[in-house]
Every structure is written in structure tokens, then in C-alpha cells.
Amino acid sequence: MYGVCLRYSKDATEAEDNLQEGFIRVFTKIDQFGFKGSFEGWMRRIMVNTSLEKFRKQNKLYPVEDITVYEGKQLSEDLLAQITADELLKLVQELPARYRMVFNLYAIEGYSHKEIGDMMGISEGTSKSNLSRARVILQKKVYEKFGIEKSKVNSTIC
């Protein structure tokens, strides 16, 4: 569960706080577990919701509707193969909070943009544009890390 909280946090300290708050909720609401799925899945949902709630309290979200501004080339698979999971996690943690949240909910947790919008109190279009912007920022960081000019990458993923 710490790994889940870490993906939604700016650093390890915030992740630990979210983890602790999440476990407090798990223990206080354990009687509400309905045995309609795995206990781990139920706990994971609590950890994600705890992290999102803390994020919403601390940050204002500003809508960005035009995702075409952020469309561009994607990263090559060869380049991604050179990045370790820890390096990628660090890059994701460096994203602005609103982009990190949308990226994690969409790319890691598998939520739709409509679900993300409902969870974060933003529009579906804002969710899409935040994801697009997060990808652009991550691409730029990867290019900078490896000292590669963006124009030299041809194949696409994502």
C-alpha cells in the first residue's frame, strides 16, 4: 500500500502520511468491507481516495480544455527500456500534483477520464488535457535525462 500512496505523493514523507491516514480509515471502516471483492482491492481504493482527498484539500485545479496544444511525438520503446522503474517513479513524482494524480489514475489504476473527473471534481476534458500534459512533461524529462533531441525519436507508444 505504501507503493500506491507513493505514486500519488510528492515525496516519501507525504506518502507515509497518506499511508497512515489510509490505514486508520481501513481499521475504522473494516466493518463496511462487504466481501464483494478482494480485501487488498478494497484497501487500495481507500489508499487512493485518501491520497486524492488530501490532494484536493491542498491544491486548486484549473481546467485546461484544449489538449491539442500538448500533442506531440511519443517516446520510443528502446528509450523506455533504458529507464528503471525507480527512475520512472521519480520522474512521475516530479510532475505537478494535478498531472501526477490524473496520470496515476489513468495509466496505473485504469480509471476512465469520466471517473477521474468525478473523483477529482474536474471535467472529463480537463482530465484528458492533464494526462496529455503529464505525458509531455514526462517525455521532456526522459529526453533531458538521456541527452536526446526530441526530433530524433521516431517510433511511438502510449
pLDDT in tens, 77-136: 555 566 777 788 888 889 998 999 999 999 988 999 999 999 888 999 999 999 999 999
For 102, the enclosing helix (H) or strand (E) is helix 97-103
**The amino acid at 97:** A
pLDDT over threshold 60, residue 63: no
Per-residue pLDDT tens digits for 7-53: 888 889 999 999 999 999 999 999 999 888 899 999 999 999 999 88
Residues 6+ apart with CB under 8 A from 9: 15, 18, 51, 93
Q: How far apart are CA 34 and CA 129, in angstroms?
A: 36
Domain ranges of the chain: 1-58, 61-158
The full DSSP string for 42-101 is HHHHHHHHHHHHHHHHH--------GGGG--PPPPHHHHHTS-HHHHHHHHHTS-HHHHH
Architecture per CATH, 61-158:
Orthogonal Bundle (1.10)
pLDDT over threshold 90, residue 70: no
pLDDT over threshold 60, residue 68: no
pLDDT over threshold 60, residue 56: yes
Q: How far apart are CA 129 and CA 126, in angstroms?
A: 5
